[in-house]
Amino acid sequence: METITPIQHKIFLIGMMGSGKSYWAKSLAKKIKTGGYDLDFVIESNEEKTIQEIFAEDGEEYFRIQEAKILRWFKEKKSFVLATGGGTPCFSENIKWMNQQGLTIWIDEPIDELVKRLVPEKAHRPLIKNLSDAALHDFLTNKRNERLPFYEQATIHLTKADINEKTFLKIIKENAK
């Protein structure tokens, strides 16, 4: 498989939980020889708590403040692929900031695919842990609709057929700085 010569890339992956942002961040970072990060993992390391614990002990508002602060740490990095949380673009003008810093790619998987991926993971995800499988579909549909105005501001919008390595590498190459 093709590997891209290291260039400065600041790539932010956005989209719903379960869309594959963490998977693609790791995979693409390896391909383009740069750092791959998961924003939630960086927050957990910084806070020394899981996302679940932060939500339970400190609340969502505190989490969103920390999320915006840690997101902005990435301004100092020259090159990376960052998987953001599903809600990251929707708070603290984060989508505007990410668009100013680099390339934002919205990974837009169908709701049915998200449900299939998330059912086994519900216990580890604070926003969906108490939902029945049937309620999960409605929750994700409503959450996507709520976040749409933010997701639509991404530089690139990838849907099912285009969510593959070849398309990602082509986009990265075309948008290299």
Tally of CA atoms within 13 A in the half-sphere of 98 that contains its CB? 34
Rounded to two decimals, what is the model's pTM? 0.93
Which pLDDT tens digit goes with each residue over 87-113? Answer: 999 999 999 999 999 999 999 999 999
pLDDT value of residue 50: 92
pLDDT value of residue 176: 72
What is the average pLDDT value for the chain, to the nearest integer? 92
The mean per-residue pLDDT over the stretch 46-54 comes to: 93
Which pLDDT tens digit goes with each residue over 6-38? Answer: 456 899 999 999 999 999 999 999 999 999 999
pLDDT value of residue 152: 98
Q: What percent of the chain stands above pLDDT 90?
A: 82
**10-170, what's its fold?**
Rossmann fold (3.40.50)
pLDDT value of residue 7: 54
DSSP for 10-25 reads EEEEE-STTSSHHHHH
CA 108 to each of CA 13, 96, 129: distance values in angstroms, whole numbers, following the listed order: 10, 19, 22
**Under DSSP, is residue 98 helix (H, G, I), strand (E, B) or coil?**
helix
pLDDT value of residue 100: 95
> Per-residue b/e over 140-161, b at no fewer than 16 CB within 10 Å?
beebbeebeebbebbebbbeee
pLDDT value of residue 129: 87
Q: Which residue carries 């810093």 as its tokens?
A: 101
